[in-house]
Structure 1
C-alpha cells in the first residue's frame, strides 16, 4: 500500500507530507486548496509527463517522493528483485523536476527511465480522474474496462502474442510473393554479380597487403636513396663515416684504459656500436639488393586495386566487406532458387499461425462474453442505487468481422444503456445525458476497480454531479472498496467524506506574498466541524453540526 507521499515545491505546494493508513482516506477542503494537486503529484512520481510548470514559482526544482509497503505486493517485490532494485519489502519512488522541465526518476535509490517508472506505477496505483467519463465512450476504453473487470490479462497476452507471430509470418510471405514476381530477372542479376565477385578471387587480407605493397612500389626511388645514403654515412664513406668515428673513439680510450679501468665499459660500448653499425650496413645492402624496381609490378598492383575498388563502389561497400557481400548474394541466390519450397513452407506456417490466433481469440471472446454478463448485471444494480431506478446497462461483445485480426482479438466491445424503462439499450454516447453519463461512469469505475488486483485506488472527484442519497451510496461503495483495497478519494461531498476511515483536510494559506498548502489529519470533533462546513457553507450552525455528527455515527454503525 501507499505508506507516505512527500511533495516539495510542486505547483502551489511548498512542502507537505502525508502518511496514509489502510482503508478509505478522503481529502477535503475548499476549491483551489490543492486537493487534486496532490493526486497530480502522485501521478507525476509514477511516470506522468512533466514540464517546467510543475515547479513552484521561485523554486529551482520540484521533488516528489512516494513510499510503498510491499508486504502484500509479492509480484512488485519480485519485479524489483529482477530489476536489481530490491529494498527488503519497501519501494521508495522519487521524481525530481528541474525549473527547465528536465526530470530524473529513482526507485530505491537507483536511477530509472520514464518507461520503467511507468511500468512500476501501473503495478502500484490506479488513478481515476474527475473527467474520466469523457473517455468512456471510446471503444478501446470500453474493451479495456471489460478486460480489467474480467481479469483477462493472460488471455489478452496470449491473443497478442499469437497475433504478433501471425503478423510476422504474413509480412514474410508478402515479401516472398513480391520477390517471386520478378524472380527470373533477379536471379540473372544475382548470378552475374556473384560470378563477377568470384572471378575477382579476393583473398582474406589481400586489400591491406596490396595497399602496403603499392605504397612501397610508388616510393621505391625515395626508399633506395634513403637506404644508400644511410650506408654511406654509417660505413661506406671514404672519410668521416660513423664506423670510422666510432673506431677512432674506441682506439683513443683503449690507449688510456690501463691508466683508469673506469673507461673500459665505455670502450666496450663503442666496440659494440661498431659491430652494430656493420650489421646495420649489411641489412641496408641486402635491402637495396632485394628492392624491386620493376615498374611492371607497380602497374599490376595498381590495376588489381582499381578492380577491387570499382567492384566495392558498385556494391556500395568497403573493399574489406566484399567477401561478406558475396556471401549475402549467395544466400539470396540460394533462397530465390528454392523460392517454391520457401513459399510452400511459409504458407503452411501462416496457416498454422492463423489457427493458433483464432484459437486464442476465441478463448478471449468466451471469457469476455461471460464477464460481460456479470458486469452488465452489477452496473445495472449500481445504476439503480445511483438514482437511475429504471436504467439498464448492457456490455455487448460481438465479432462483426472475425477475419479482421488485431492484437486485442476480433471482438467489438460496446457499452449500451437504457436510461428509462421501456427504452431499448443504445450506445452510451447517444443515450445518456451529461449527468447520467457521470453517474454511469462512477458505477463502472467502482465495479471495474473492485476486481482490480492493484492495492491502491485513487478517485479524484469522480462523484462530481451527484448528491443527496446517491452521494451517500457512492460513499458506501467506496468504503466497501476500502475494505479490500487502499482507497484515496478527493471529494466535495459530506456524504462521501463521512464514510471514510481517515479524513485529511487540505487548506491553502497565504500571507499576501506567498501561498502554501497544509494537510491536517482530523480527529472525531474536527471531522464534525469539517463535515458541517461542507454541509452548511460559510456559516456553521448547530443544525449542521448535529447533522454532521449523525452522519459520522451512522457510518461507524455500518462498520
Structure 2
C-alpha cells in the first residue's frame, strides 16, 4: 500500500508531501490544476517512462520519494532479495532528476537502476486511465492478461519447456542436414583426398628427415673423393705403411743403440694406433656416403610429394597426417549420416508430439478461463448500467510459439445483436470507461497487494452511471487501496479520503498544491464540482445528499 509521496521541485510543484490511506482515496480539482502532475511524479519514482522535462523551472534538480507498506507475502520481497536490497518491511523509493537529464534512483538507500524500479512497480501499483498503457486496449497483450487471470504459470512453464525442446531438436536436425549437404557436395573431393593421403601416408617430422637425407646425398659425391684420398694417405700405402717400415728399421738396430731408440719406437707405436683409428673413422664415413643414385631419386620424389600435398591443402607438411584424420572423420560422418538423420527426425517427431500436447492443454485451460472471465465481466457490467452489453474473450489459432498457438482478443458488443469488435473501436468514451473498469476489476481481483490508480475512469459518464462507477470503485477499495483522479461529484462523494488539487499563480511563478479535506471542506469541493465556480447552499445540500447516499 502506498503510504506517502514526497515531491520536490518537479514541474510546478516546489514541495509537497502526501500521506495516503487504505480505502478509496479521491483527488479532485479544476482542469489544469495539476492532478496529472501527481501521477507523473509517482510514475517517475516508479521508473515509468514519461515526460522528459520534469525539473521545476529555476531548480537544479527534482526529487520524488514514495514509501510503501508491504506485507510478508508480497511479491516485492522476492525482487528485493534478487538484487540484494535490505528488506525492512517498509519500502522506500527515491529518484532524482537533474536539469541535464541524469536520473539516479535508490531503494531503501541502495542505489539501483530504473529497471529495478520498474520491476518493483509491477508488484506495487496498477495505473489505469482512459488511454490505458498497460495492455487492456492492446490486443497483443490480451493473452498475457488472460494467462495472469487464469494463473497459468505452471502450464506456461511446461509449454515453454516443450517448445525449447522442439526448437533444439529442429536446430540439431537442420544443422546435421546442412553438414551432410555440404559433405555430399564435396564427397568426391574428400574420397580422392583421403585416398591420396593414405597412399602417401606422411608422418610428422618426415619432411625434415627427407630434406636432410637429400642434402647429404647431394653433397656426398663431391666430398667422397677427397675423403677417399685421405683414406689412401692414411693406409698401408701411405702414412701407416711408412710408419711400419720405420718401426722395422729401427727395431733392427735398436740393440746396438744402447736404448736410445726405445722412446722413438714407443712413439711410433702410438702413432700407428692413432693412424689406425683415423683410418677406420674415414672408412666408416666413406661407407655412409655410399648410396644408390636411385635412392636419391626416391627421396626427392617423396619429399616433393609431401610438400606438394601440403601446398595443395594449405597445411604444414607435419600436419598432413592430422589433416588426413580430419578428412576421414568427415567421410565417416557422411557414411553414418543416414542413421543420424533417422534418429534426429524421430527426436523432432517426439518433441512435436510433446509440444502439441502441452499447447493443446494450454488452449483448453485458456478457453475455460475465458468463459469464467466473460461471466465475471457480465456480473461486473450489470451494476455499471451495461447489463445489455456483451463482453467476449475470443481465442483463435495463430503461429506456434513458446506460449502456445492461441491468439486472444477481448471484444465487446454494446447491445444485443450488434457486431462485436475491439474495445477501443466499438465502445464510446463513457462505455469504454466502464468496460475498462469492469475488466480491471476482474483481472486484478486477487491482487490485494496492489495499489490501484484510476485516472479519470469516469470520463464521459454522469448521473446514475457515474454513481454506479463510484459505487464499484468504493466496493473495489474495500480491503485494498484505490486512488481515483476524478471530475465526477458522484465518485468523489463516495471517497474515504479526499484531496483537492489547486493551482496557485502569482506574478513570479505558478505552482500546484494538494490539500487534504475535512468533512466541511469536502462538502464545499463536491458542491463546486456540482455547480461550478459559484458554490450555493443548494449545491452544498446536494453534496451532502450525495455523501450520505
Which of 343, 365, 370 is the equivalent residue of 2:368?
Answer: 370
Residue in 2 that maps onto 1:436: 431
What whole-Å deviation, never above 9, does each CA across 1:60-87 have from its counterpart, x for those lacking one?
2222221111225443223312321023
Which of 344, 347, 351 is the equivalent residue of 2:345?
Answer: 347
Change (3 A) 1:340 1:127: farther
Residue in 2 that maps onto 1:500: 495
Which of 409, 416, 435 is the equivalent residue of 1:414?
Answer: 409
Deviation at 1:469, TM superposition (A): 1.0
Matches within 5 A, 1:126-275: 126-132=126-132, 136-185=136-185
Consecutive unaligned residues in structure 2, runs of 5 or more: 206-306, 316-321
Contact 1:386 1:474 in 2 (8 A): yes
Deviation at 1:541, TM superposition (A): 0.7
Which of 447, 465, 471 is the equivalent residue of 1:470?
Answer: 465
Asked if 1:108 corresponds to 2:89, the answer is no
Partners of 1:415 and 1:68 in 2: how far apart?
Answer: 33
Partners of 2:393 and 2:332 in 1: how far apart?
Answer: 54
Consecutive unaligned residues in structure 1, runs of 5 or more: 203-306, 316-323, 555-559
Partners of 1:326 and 1:549 in 2: how far apart?
Answer: 97
What whole-Å deviation, never above 9, does each CA across 1:233-262 have from its counterpart, x for those lacking one?
xxxxxxxxxxxxxxxxxxxxxxxxxxxxxx
Change (3 A) 1:30 1:434: closer
Asked if 1:487 corresponds to 2:472, the answer is no
How many residues matched? Answer: 434
Deviation at 1:341, TM superposition (A): 4.6
- In terms of Rg, which structure is larger? 2
Change (3 A) 1:179 1:427: same
Partners of 1:387 and 1:444 in 2: how far apart?
Answer: 15
Secondary structure at 1:410's aligned position in 2? strand
Secondary structure at 1:123's aligned position in 2? helix
Change (3 A) 1:421 1:179: same
Contact 1:418 1:426 in 2 (8 A): yes
Deviation at 1:147, TM superposition (A): 2.5
Change (3 A) 1:512 1:389: same
Deviation at 1:137, TM superposition (A): 4.9
Deviation at 1:389, TM superposition (A): 3.7
Q: Give the structure-2-normalised TM-score.
A: 0.70
Change (3 A) 1:456 1:332: farther
Contact 1:397 1:414 in 2 (8 A): yes
Contact 1:51 1:97 in 2 (8 A): no
Deviation at 1:361, TM superposition (A): 2.1
Residue in 2 that maps onto 1:82: 82
What whole-Å deviation, never above 9, does each CA across 1:113-159 have from its counterpart, x for those lacking one?
23232222212211112312996453223323322333334433433
Which of 379, 382, 387 is the equivalent residue of 2:380?
Answer: 382
Q: Give the structure-1-normalised TM-score.
A: 0.69
Secondary structure at 2:545's aligned position in 1? helix
Partners of 1:357 and 1:15 in 2: how far apart?
Answer: 57
Matches within 5 A, 1:510-549: 510-549=505-544
What whole-Å deviation, never above 9, does each CA across 1:192-247 have from its counterpart, x for those lacking one?
79x99x98969xxxxxxxxxxxxxxxxxxxxxxxxxxxxxxxxxxxxxxxxxxxxx
Residue in 2 that maps onto 1:7: 7
Contact 2:28 2:501 in 1 (8 A): yes
Change (3 A) 1:169 1:26: farther
Partners of 1:502 and 1:422 in 2: how far apart?
Answer: 42
Secondary structure at 1:396's aligned position in 2? strand
Partners of 2:507 and 2:73 in 1: how far apart?
Answer: 45
Change (3 A) 1:178 1:20: same
Residue in 2 that maps onto 1:67: 67
Contact 2:430 2:459 in 1 (8 A): no
Partners of 1:326 and 1:488 in 2: how far apart?
Answer: 76
Partners of 1:514 and 1:148 in 2: how far apart?
Answer: 47
Aligned-pair Cα RMSD in Å: 3.5
